[in-house]
Amino acid sequence: MRFTHTHRKGFWLGFIDFFTAGLFFLFYMPLGGLQAELEAVLGHPVRPYWQAYLLGVPTLFIYPLVWMARISEELKAKAVSLGVPGPHTSWRHMFWWNMAGCLTFGPMIATHRFFKTLNGIEQKLNEAGA
């Protein structure tokens, strides 16, 4: 799979998502191709974001945060195995920037690093011809 979206601006995607209470990614994940890209990069099916979002309603949106933190940890492992230069996203980075920094720019910082890691992985896979 050739990855064409290797320059996503994570800070702005996080900014939009934060101010739409997560609704932005309900559309961006399937329509923007992010769901398919994550599955191709990670090598296994990923729970659709809309399911994580719905499970977040009764859990005060802790479930989508943990869901994204798990994906972040898998991306970190993939980046390290491919030799992508860091800093990388991680479970801890995603979770704590979203929790402790929720009144400031924390979610945007977490999303920025997530997409920086994903962009690096996709660029490396494009170079390798995978």
Tell me the average pLDDT across 9-35: 93
The residue ranges of every structural domain in the chain are: 10-128
Locate 80 and state its tokens: 């390290």
| Per-residue pLDDT band at 129 (split at 50, 70, 90) | confident
As a whole number, the mean pLDDT across the chain is: 93
pTM: 0.92
What is 9-23 written as a DSSP string?
Answer: -HHHHHHHHHHTTTH
Q: How confident is the model at residue 130 (pLDDT cuts 50, 70, 90)?
A: low
User: 31-61, pLDDT tens digit by residue?
Assistant: 999 999 999 999 999 999 999 999 999 999 9
Angle among Cα 51, 130, 69 to the nearest 5 degrees reads 30
Max CA distance (Å), the chain = 43
